[in-house]
Chain A
Amino acid sequence: MKKKNTEHAHGARYAAVAGDEQLIREFRPLLESKGFVLLMAHDTHAIRAAGAALAAGLELSMSDGSTKKDSLLLLEEHLPASAMIVSSSVTVTAARQASWMRHPERLIGLCAFPTLMNGPLAEFAIPIGTAASIVRSAHALFAELGIEMVTVQDRVGMVLPGILAQIINEAFFAVQYNVATPEDIDTAMKAGAGYPKGPVEWGETIGFPNIVRLLDAMRSESGEERYRVAPLLRELSVSGTFWHANIASEAAVQEVLQLGDALQPDADASAHTQGREKKIKRTR
């Protein structure tokens, strides 16, 4: 039924989308509020049916390899030749992505990063080979969405995602080294430094795997040790949940402590238990 609507809706405009669910979910309301109908990239029948009414292809993923490449090639194959392809270039430079394409002049890099999709401006990276007409079309499209395009150099991390990843990473080093509780760190940065969100809660909203993926990409791209990931953050990116949210009850805390105590000599058990209980409570 949906396919029929796209085929016959007179005057409708379309955008084809591929990528991470979280990013699509964040960007979708803005596009739809401006009258765009979103088509998923794998729905090639609907994309072809949309024809010239398809304004752009959006590749919104934080992946760093074949998934992104596959999505771009899919969009390129099925989109009309005139349609621009706007792709997240936070973890892979736009230039590298352009090198995967048969028609690289269609590509523009966008700072598509969780929690940053609905601001009044957005960072863009424009590879050397991008056609001037595509840049003009992108300006027009994003102006219509109420987003000012700010062009930055084409590099992994762009501007704000790189800064955020570093802040969040440092917060997790601080948590890991017991400098302060996660709650106190968030309070400190909001009340003491004017941050809109605490770095711990911000990291949780962005998604720990996304932060780790970005830091790893920045480290790999720059070769700089300063982007090494806090071990706790990497651990959380694997567990996929906030570290203290796993402990649901006092009973569960006790269970965790008892499991740990089984590994301690009796004489030291009490002191170890007290120490760890305090630490866990501070972080809950």
Chain B
Amino acid sequence: MGIAIAHLAALNKCTVALYDINDEVIRRALEGIRVSLAHTVNDTTFTKDDLQLALERIKKRTQLADLDTCDIIIEAAMEDLRVKKDLFKKLDTITHYTTRLVTTTSSLSITAIASATKKPERVAGMRFFEPVLSRDLIEIVTGINTSDETTDALRAAAGKLGKRTIVSRDTPGFVVNRIQSQFFGEALRLLESGAASAAAIDRIVQLQGGFESGPFRQIDTMGVDVHFEESYSLFERMFTDPRYRPHDIERRMSDAGHRGKKTKKGFYNY
């Protein structure tokens, strides 16, 4: 996610510092961005010179302290509250108080992450959607202490990245995952109870409903195990409200190694 955001920022003429403790990880990330950008080079809208300029906008950083001049720092570490809180605590000490500290979490509490800082009003969430380059939305998530100034600054930043924004309060699942939980949940319940096959449900949802993609294709793409973990986490954070109950079929499939596209077998074979 971090690499895709750096890619997006560079394409939109923003100078971006790409940070990782491992120099090799950054080198590979930059190579990936270069290869991806090279595919889009043409004679008019994105020339070789544009490619070079975009790559020059991405600065390699392996020391956290080197991020002290950034206006916005976007964290995209693993979905582990302890890891994120530790990172935000460090960022809180090395950055100016006007720097906005942003997490890309899709499942953790912004307020909990912000609690690791002394100025939680400058902390918020920015949820990007896959594929980051083409999805036209960023969900800005405000914690209990997030200031209006921080929200406004993030709206402006998203605008520079060419994205629309919506603002969500810091509640489990925010907006998109919360509503998607019903899209997937009801489809899984129908499948589990034998109402229709995964392929039939996907076809109905796409062709009759006009959705971009059916629920089971989507789960296979994100990973059956990943979706199950996300569903379980939402269920727990909603204090086991039955509306968010995860489905055993996903757990059994994960246990069997049928985890979607990445294992070449999920609700479909690949």
Contacts and interface: CB of A to CB of B under 8 A. Distances in A.
Interface of A: 111, 116, 119-123, 150, 152-153, 155, 158-160, 162-164, 166-167, 169-171, 174, 177-181, 184-185, 187-189, 191-197, 199, 224-226, 228
Interface string B164-177: 10111101001110
B200 interface: yes
B195 A180 contact: no
Given A123-B204, A185-B166, 4 more contacts: A177-B171, A180-B168, A191-B164, A193-B129
B195 A152 contact: yes
Interface string B190-217: 1001111000110111011111110100
B196 A167 contact: no
B135 interface: yes
B187 interface: yes
A175 to B, nearest CB: 10
The size class of the interface chain B forms with chain A is: 35 or more
Q: Which 4 A-B pairs have the closest CB atoms?
A: A194-B212, A196-B210, A184-B166, A191-B137
A116 B209 contact: yes
A30 to B, nearest CB: 14
Nearest to A189: B179
Contacts of B164: 187, 191
Given A152-B200, A162-B186, A179-B168, A185 B179 contact: yes
B61 interface: no
A196 B136 CA distance: 14
Contacts of B166: 180, 184-185, 187-188
A92 B168 CA distance: 37
27 contacts: A119-B207, A119-B210, A150-B196, A150-B204, A153-B196, A159-B201, A160-B204, A160-B208, A163-B183, A163-B186, A163-B187, A163-B205, A170-B178, A170-B182, A174-B178, A180-B166, A180-B168, A188-B137, A188-B168, A188-B175, A192-B135, A192-B137, A193-B176, A193-B183, A197-B210, A224-B242, A226-B242
A162 B190 contact: yes
